[in-house]
Amino acid sequence: MIITGLRGVGKTVLLGEFRKRATTMDWVVIELEIAKHTPEEFRKDIAREARRALFTIAPMTKWREKARRAAAVLKSFTLTVAPDGSLSVGLGNDSAPGSADSGSLDADLTDLLLALGEAAREHDTGVVLLIDEIQALSKPELEALIAAIHKTVQRTLPITMVAAGLPQLPELVGEAKSYAERLFKFPAIGQLNATDAYEALVEPAVEEEASYDDDAAAFIIEYTEGYPYFIQEYGKAVWDLAVGPNVSLAEARASQKAVEDKLDSGFFKVRIDRTTDLERAYLRCMAELGPEPQSASSVAALMQRQSNQVGPTRARLIEKGLLYNTPSWGYAAFTVPQFDRYLKRCVPLRIPEPRTRKKKP
């Protein structure tokens, strides 16, 4: 399963719920949060987590044949990225020549997960990979991961994966491996409906013997548009400001500034800080056009440029996870809810002057 959605809708929380369910069933959990990295770092992260998983499946003194084989395969895998043996401590003296040591991540990761799955089955347990921000993987890494999971499914091994990331994932995964669309489910999560948003806001207050006037709750739900993280922040802000156990509409309105200040200084700022002046201008022009997906040509026109001139800027914003390509050709949308509101509040609308080439003397 690969869960997709915008920032702040609860994808990471859902992965945490999967972790709870897996551990309740005595399954072994491998958790990874993908960030910008080198190929060697991803391989090292996988090796560390696989080592921990193997020792969780069973202590070394109780390893059976498949677990010992998995240890040897894992040692081969680790030695390709850490020849000094720093990642293979406790795995025994033997590696498995010819397995997980080719240097090809596609083949080696498949060997590793197959061996780990065999060990899990031998010890009557299973392994689940929980991977957050999976869109940050490079295409070769994503291809290797999908191929490895595919092979474990073909062998009916007790090893599976739940990942989460931004809305462009179905497209990225489909481009990486054509059969991925049949291998995974792609549930998308987003805004809560009015009933669920109301419960998310009101029920925690009721547990603390507090309540909301109906018009106060309606105001907050309308402002947050049902986005879970915004509901959470608004609930905290109004709780801190409210005088009595009953939240009024006036208190809900008065809390808006505190909510915006908190979001602007944290949730939004950490993302805009990673942009260049030109990228910021592109985002601001998108916001000027509205919160819905915008065509590349419309943004370029507002920036007084041609589409091909701002194409690289748009591509970098997609790479940085601030925009994503929508199913409509040529259209992109913000990955951050209400980013247009923030940009209009905090980023002036400035159109950078086009660069002019200097004439050769």
Name the band, by pLDDT with cuts 50, 70 and 90, for residue 354. Answer: low
> What is the architecture of the domain spanning 2-183?
3-Layer(aba) Sandwich (3.40)
* Contact assessment for residue 231 and residue 200, using Cβ atoms and an 8 Å cutoff: yes
| Tokens linked to 321 | 């996870």
Angle at 211 between CA 209 and CA 212, to 5 degrees: 170
* Tens digits of residue pLDDT in 69-78: 999 999 999 8
Q: For the domain made up of 274-346, give the CATH fold.
A: Arc Repressor Mutant, subunit A (1.10.10)
Please name the residues in contact with 117: beta carbons below 8 A apart, sequence gap of 6 or more.
127, 152, 155, 157, 158, 159
Partners of 130 in the β-ladder: 31, 162
* Tens digits of residue pLDDT in 161-175: 999 999 989 888 988
Report how far residue 87's alpha carbon sits from residue 83's, in angstroms, rounded to the nearest whole number.
Answer: 9
* Segments making up each domain of the chain, as ranges: 2-183, 194-268, 274-346
Query: Is 194-268 a CATH 1.10.3470 domain?
Result: no
From 83-87, 114-118, 185-189, 264-268, the region with the lowest mean pLDDT? 83-87
* Tens digits of residue pLDDT in 39-64: 789 999 999 999 999 999 999 999 99
* Contact assessment for residue 165 and residue 11, using Cβ atoms and an 8 Å cutoff: yes
Mean pLDDT of 120-141: 95
Maximum distance among all Cα pairs of the chain, rounded to whole angstroms: 78
